[in-house]
Structure 1
Amino acid sequence: MDTGVSVVGTGQVSGTPDVLHVTFGVEQVEPDVATAVATVGERTDVVIAALRARGIEESRLATGAVNVFQDYREPGTDAGYRASHTIQVETKDLTGFGALLNAAVDAAGNSLTLHGLSFDIEDKSELLIEARRLAFEQAKAKAEHLASLAGFSLGSVTAISETYNHAPIGLQSRRASAKAFDAAINVTPGENSIEVSLQVQFAWA
């Protein structure tokens, strides 16, 4: 059996977000599937055109999901069918959320839904490097302490494994109303945290 000590060290760093992710949805209930799908398709195209007009590049627009299903109602009432289409939007303009929301509401009216928004850091490489350094320093300090308690001297590293956790700041889903956003809404990005955990195996000297 290998001898030595295995410890876990954690390093956490924070950074200022530089990307805003927004997920809009377009939903419509109609008496038949064809009408529901056609209506959602038309309104989705209008929303996408409105977002492009606000400066969102084609590469930062993507379809998130397309769904069609029966809208269940009380017994004895006519059947309905709900079609939906989600649009994922990415922008570097962290202050432009209110303008994007207003443009989408103007385009889709009460068919628009807001599935949420989150802030992110596009390039996390430098933050990950610092988080790893802090995690390793903590792991080594733990190992040295355990070695001294056991009456051993710490040797070389024999194995390392890493886990990574990123916690973007986000807001939850809601339905938008065509009259609810007459003024621009400002959102504050705050900071995002990145955490790296390292399991480090040390041999005895």
Structure 2
Amino acid sequence: MDSGITVTGTGQTTAPADLLRLTLNVGHDAPDVAAAVRQVAERTDLVHAALRAQGVAADDIETSSVNVFPQYADGMSVAGYRASHSLTVTTRDLTGFGRLLNAAVDAAGNSLGLDQLQFDIADKQPLIEQARELAFRQASQKAAQLAELSGQSLGPIAAVAESYSHAPFQLQAAAGKASDAYASELSVTPGDQKIEVSLDVRWSWG
């Protein structure tokens, strides 16, 4: 094994969120598949139209999942069917959560669920590059100190491995009633998003 030293440097950067994503779910139970699918399709169209009326672009409303499955009674006999259609809605209006949710509830009523709320950053690349620079600087400082403590001198870099993490703030929730729960607009606070880069850097001894 070649002699040398491997150290890990970590860099973190933060920035305010500039995107809000909502995952809305429209579901319906019915005695037969056709009725369940038809009702979900109709109510999903209403939600789509309501969001568009609130200024959300068509390209910012995407299907994230569609499900149809039987529901079983005692004895494992089929009692009916449930259909659901999940939509991911993206907006740069970070204060518009309550307004969009209320519009969707008004459109779909008790068929609507809120699966997830997530704040994110649209362009992460500058933050990643800055975090990478900080990580490399920290690794270099560690390596220099360890080399001095061990009576060695650093040679060329032999290898670099990078890992990256970003966990957007998200809220798991369950919505479902177009009643007093949404009589007033709910407000949420986005806060800052954190980007972290770790570098494993190996130096040969000089």
* Smaller-chain TM-score bracket: over 0.9
1:6 and 1:78, CA in 2 relative to 1: closer, same or farther beyond 3 A? closer
* TM-score (normalised: structure 2): 0.95
Mapped partners of 1:69, 1:6: distance in 2: 53
> Comparing 58-67 with 170-179, which one deviates more in the overlay?
170-179
Q: Quick one: distance in 2 between partners of 1:59 and 1:21?
A: 13
Aligned length, in residue pairs = 205
The offset of 1:18, in angstroms, is: 0.3
Provide closer, same or farther for how the CA distance between residues 151 and 75 of structure 1 changes in structure 2, counting only shifts above 3 A.
Answer: same
The AA in structure 2 aligned to 1:96 is G
| Percent of residue pairs identical | 53
**Cα contact 2:22–2:118 (8 A) shared by 1:** yes
Contact 1:31 1:78 (8 Å CA) reproduced: no
Q: Which residue of 2 aligns with 1:108?
A: 108
Q: CA deviation at 1:69?
A: 0.5
Shift of 1:120: 0.4
Deviation at 1:76, TM superposition (A): 8.8
Deviation of the 1:58 alpha carbon: 1.2
Partner of 1:177: 177
For residue 56 of structure 2, what is the amino acid of its counterpart? I
Amino acid in the other structure paired with 1:153: S
Cα deviation code 1:103-161 (max 9, x no counterpart): 00000000001001110010112211110111111111221122122210112212111
Output the amino acid matched with 1:43: R
Question: Map of 1:8-87 to 2, 5 A cutoff?
Answer: 8-75=8-75, 79-87=79-87
Flag structure 1 segments of 5+ consecutive residues without an equivalent: none
Match of 1:158 in 2: 158
Aligned partner of 1:193 in structure 2 is 194
For 1:175, what is the secondary structure of its paired residue? coil
User: TM (normalized to structure 1)?
Assistant: 0.96
Task: Provide the aligned C-alpha RMSD in A.
Answer: 1.4
Distance 1:185 1:43, change over 3 A: same
Within 1, Cα distance between the matches of 2:86 and 2:140? Answer: 47
Question: Retained in 1: the 8 A contact 2:72–2:78?
Answer: no
- 1:202 maps to 203
Residues of 2 paired with 1:187 and 1:85: CA distance?
Answer: 25
Greater Cα shift, 193-202 or 73-82:
73-82
Letter in 1 for 2:167: A
